[in-house]
Structure 1
Amino acid sequence: MSAYYPHSLIPPHILRRIIDNGSEAQQHFARRTLVHVQNLMDIGLKGISKPLTTYPGELMRNIYDAHHQSTVNGTLVRYEGQPSNGDIAADEAYEYLGVTHDFFWRVWRRNSLDNQGMALNGIVHFGESYMNAFWDGQEMVFGDGDGVIFNRFTIAIDVIAHELGHGVTGSEAGLIYYAQSGALNESLSDVFGSLVKQYYYQQTADQADWLIGEGLLGERINGRALRSMSSPGTAYNDPMLGADPQPAHMNDYVRTRDDNGGVHLNSGIPNRAFYLASVAVGGYAWEKTGYAWYDTVCDKSLTPDADFATFARLTIYHGGKRSGKAVANAIEQAWREVGVLW
C-alpha cells in the first residue's frame, strides 16, 4: 500500500498573511492553524482504514462532532441512513461525502477512495475557529473558520471533494508532496473537486465557474474563492490576504522552499491546462478530459516524483486512447499554452 500524507486546504502563505494583518484574535487562530498544518506536513501516515462496505459501490458515511477540540475522536452524530440532527455542518459533510462517492462510482466505477470500498468519515467542528480543512489519510476534518475571514469549511462541495481526492491520488500514484509532483497532487484534487461540483450541478465545461472554494471566504473579503482554475492568480485581492499568487504559465513558476516547494502555488499551471483542454473538448468535463486525468493517475508508469511534462504526456496518451485523436490534440495544445510542453 502506498504511503498516505495529510493534506490541508488553506496554504501557509494565506495563514501567514492573516498573522501579519489580522486582529489579535485572528492572528491567534491563524497561528494555531499554521502550527497544526506544519505538523501535518511533517508526518506521513501508514495507510487508510480497512473497508467497511460489503458490496461494490456501497456508500458508508460516519460524521463525528469534535466539539471544538483538536481531536479526531469526536462523538458520532450521523451515520449512514440516519436522519439529520439539525447541525448544518454535519449535514453538509454527510451530503457532499455522498456526492463525491457517487461521482467516482457512477462516472468512473471507482469503489470509494481506495477502490476497495473504504467508508467515508468526516469530523466537523474541529478546533476553535480552526481556519482549515484537511484529509489525514483516514478521514476528512473540517474547521468552522472564524466567521469573518473564512466561513465553515463544509460550505463548499468542491472543498470536500478536493480533500477526498487526495485519498484517490494517494492510493493510486502516491505523488510525492513536494515541488512539481506535489503541485500535481494539489492540482489533481482541484480537478476532482471541480468535476464533482460540475457533476452535482450537471454543468458542462463552458457553464462551470472553475472556482475552488466559492462561498468559503467571508463577505468582507474581496475575493470569489481560494483559487481559479480558468484564470489562476485572480481568485482574490484583499488587504488581509493579499493578491492571489498562483501562476498560470511556466514562465512564472514559483521557486520556493515554502509550502513544500510551492505546491499550492504552482498547481495553478496544470489547473489551467485542464480547464483549457476541457473547454476545447466541450461537453461534460468528466467524460473525456477528466477521464484522461483519472486514467493517468491510475497508470502504474506514473512515478511518485513525476514532473509536469511527464504527467502531461500521459494525459495526452490516455486522452487519445480512450476518446480519440481530437481529444489528445486538445489536451496537448492546452499543455503547450501553459508552457509545460513546447
Structure 2
Amino acid sequence: MCGPAQCHNPIHCIVPPHMLRVMALRGDASVQQMARALLHQNEEVRDERAERMTGGLVPEDGRSGLFVSSALARSVPDRHVCDRRIHDGEGKAALPGRLVRGEGDAPTGDPEVDRAYDGAGTVFELYSEAFGRNSLDGAGVPLTATVHHRRNYNNAFWNGTQMAYGDGDQKIFRTFTELSVIGHEMSHGVVQYSGGLLYQGQSGALNESVADVFGTMTVQRKLDQDVYAADWLVGAGILGPDINGRALRSMKAPGTAYHDALLGQDPQPYHMDLYVDTTDDNGGVHINSGIPNHAFYLYCMYLGGNAWERPGQVWYRALQQINNPMATFHDWAAETMDAAIALFGAGSCEQVMLRRAWRLVGIAC
C-alpha cells in the first residue's frame, strides 16, 4: 500500500511490480537480485518524484492531482511546436544525463536515441493533430527523455517530468523504446496534467488504462491501422527471446499476453466478475486496468474505423471533464457516456454502443 504522497505522485513504470515480484520468487539468483533491485529503485524514484512535485509545483484551479508550473499556467501558445530533448544516461542513475539529440537534429545512429526521438514526435503528433493538445501539458512543455538509463535496466518510466528507458538485459527484455511503451509512458504525463487519477485502486487502474489506450492509439495511427487491423498489444516485441509471450498486456484479450515459467500467467481480468482484490501494485492498478481496457477495445470493435477518431475523442473528452481524482470504473463509464452524448448526441450509435461495451465487462451505466 502506498502512502498519500506516493499515490498522488507515483513513478509510472511499464513493467509492473506484480511481474517483478513473480521474478523475485521464480528466478535464479541473478534474476531475483535484479527484480528486488528494480522494486527498490522504483521506491527511490517514487520518493524523489513526491519531493519534487510538492516543492515548486502548484495545483491549478483546485483540481487534486493536476500540477503545472506557474509559468506554464500563465502562457499557452497558440501554435503547437514539438520540442524533443533526448539524453544519454550512459548507464547511470542520474537524470536526465547528456543531451545527445535536440529538436531538428539529425539522427545519431544510436537506435535507442533515435527511436526515443521519433517516438516522442509520433506521440506529440497524435495529441496535437487528433486532439488539439499542445504537448503533454497542453502548453508546449518540452519532451525530455533519457535512454541507456542505468545498466541492463529492465524498465521504462515517467517520473513526473520526463521519460526514462532502460536497455533491457536482452534476456527477459529486449528494449523499452517500443512505440506503445513510449506512448503509454508519455500519456501518463497527459493524465497528470489533465486532473490526475489517484494511483490507487480503481482510479489507479484507470490511470494505467488511459495510458494503455493512448499508447495503442499511438501505434495504430503511426501504422494507419483501423481497429480491426490492430493487434491491441502493449509492449509488443519487448519480451526477451526465451520468454513465452507476445507483450505485457492485451486489450483484445486481457490475461493472454504471456504465460511463462519465469513471468507466470498474465493476471489481467476482462470482466468485473474477475476483479482482483489485492494490496500489491497500489491495489492492482496494472492488473484491473484490463477491464476498462477491454471496454475500450469492444467499443472500437462496435464503431469500426480508427481508434483515435470517434472512440478516442470520447475517451479524451472524458479525461478532460471528469475532475475526480478518485474516480471508480463506474464513474469513468458514466463520464464517457456524457462525453459520447456531448460529442454525438443522445441516442446516437456512439452512445448506444458505448453502453453495450461497458455492460459486456460488467459495468452498468
Query: What does residue 180 of structure 2 align with?
Result: 158
Q: Which runs of 5+ in 1 are unaligned?
A: none
How far apart are residue 54 of structure 1 and its match?
6.2
Counterpart CA distance in 2 for 1:88 and 1:22 is 29
Counterpart CA distance in 2 for 1:23 and 1:81 is 45
> 2:120 aligned with 1:97, yes or no?
yes
Counterpart CA distance in 1 for 2:227 and 2:33 is 40
How far apart are residue 55 of structure 1 and its match?
5.5
Q: Percent identity?
A: 43
CA RMSD of the aligned region, Å? Answer: 1.7
Following superposition of structure 1 onto structure 2, how do residues 263-282 of structure 1 map, counting pairs within 5 Å?
Answer: 263-282=285-304
How far apart are residue 29 of structure 1 and its match?
2.1
Query: What does residue 115 of structure 1 align with?
Result: 138
> 2:50 aligned with 1:29, yes or no?
no
> 2:213 aligned with 1:208, yes or no?
no
Secondary structure at the counterpart of residue 286 of structure 2: helix
Following superposition of structure 1 onto structure 2, how do residues 1-342 of structure 1 map, counting pairs within 5 Å?
Answer: 4-42=9-47, 44=50, 45-46=52-53, 47=57, 56-154=79-177, 156-299=178-321, 301-324=322-345, 325-341=348-364
Counterpart CA distance in 2 for 1:16 and 1:268 is 19
Change (3 A) 1:221 1:53: farther
Is the Cα contact below 8 Å between 2:9 and 2:46 reproduced in 1? Answer: no
| Letter aligned with residue 220 of structure 1 | D
Is the Cα contact below 8 Å between 2:46 and 2:159 reproduced in 1? Answer: no
Counterpart CA distance in 1 for 2:340 and 2:97 is 43
Secondary structure at the counterpart of residue 185 of structure 1: helix
CA deviation string 1:100-143 (max 9, x = no partner): 00110000110000000011011001111111100011110001
CA deviation string 1:214-270 (max 9, x = no partner): 011012110000000011000000001000000111001111111000000000000
Counterpart CA distance in 2 for 1:186 and 1:73 is 24
Q: TM-score, normalised by structure 1?
A: 0.95
Is the Cα contact below 8 Å between 1:247 and 1:253 reproduced in 2? Answer: yes
Counterpart CA distance in 2 for 1:30 and 1:93 is 25
Query: What does residue 63 of structure 2 align with?
Result: none
How far apart are residue 23 of structure 1 and its match?
3.1
How far apart are residue 28 of structure 1 and its match?
2.3
| Letter aligned with residue 63 of structure 1 | I
Deviates more, 1:215-224 or 1:22-31: 22-31
Q: TM-score, normalised by structure 2?
A: 0.89
Deviates more, 1:24-33 or 1:279-288: 24-33
Counterpart CA distance in 2 for 1:55 and 1:291 is 21
CA deviation string 1:160-180 (max 9, x = no partner): 010000111111121100000
Query: What does residue 60 of structure 2 align with?
Result: none
CA deviation string 1:168-216 (max 9, x = no partner): 1111121100000000000000001011111000111111100000011
Q: Which runs of 5+ in 2 are unaligned?
A: 1-7, 58-67
Deviates more, 1:64-73 or 1:318-327: 318-327
Query: What does residue 61 of structure 2 align with?
Result: none
Number of aligned residues: 338
Secondary structure at the counterpart of residue 265 of structure 1: coil
| Letter aligned with residue 111 of structure 1 | N
Counterpart CA distance in 2 for 1:229 and 1:88 is 28
How far apart are residue 34 of structure 1 and its match?
1.2
Secondary structure at the counterpart of residue 264 of structure 1: coil
| Letter aligned with residue 325 of structure 2 | P
| Letter aligned with residue 23 of structure 1 | D
How far apart are residue 12 of structure 1 and its match?
0.7
How far apart are residue 323 of structure 1 and its match?
2.7
Counterpart CA distance in 2 for 1:14 and 1:40 is 18
| Letter aligned with residue 278 of structure 1 | C
Query: What does residue 5 of structure 2 align with?
Result: none
How far apart are residue 56 of structure 1 and its match?
2.2
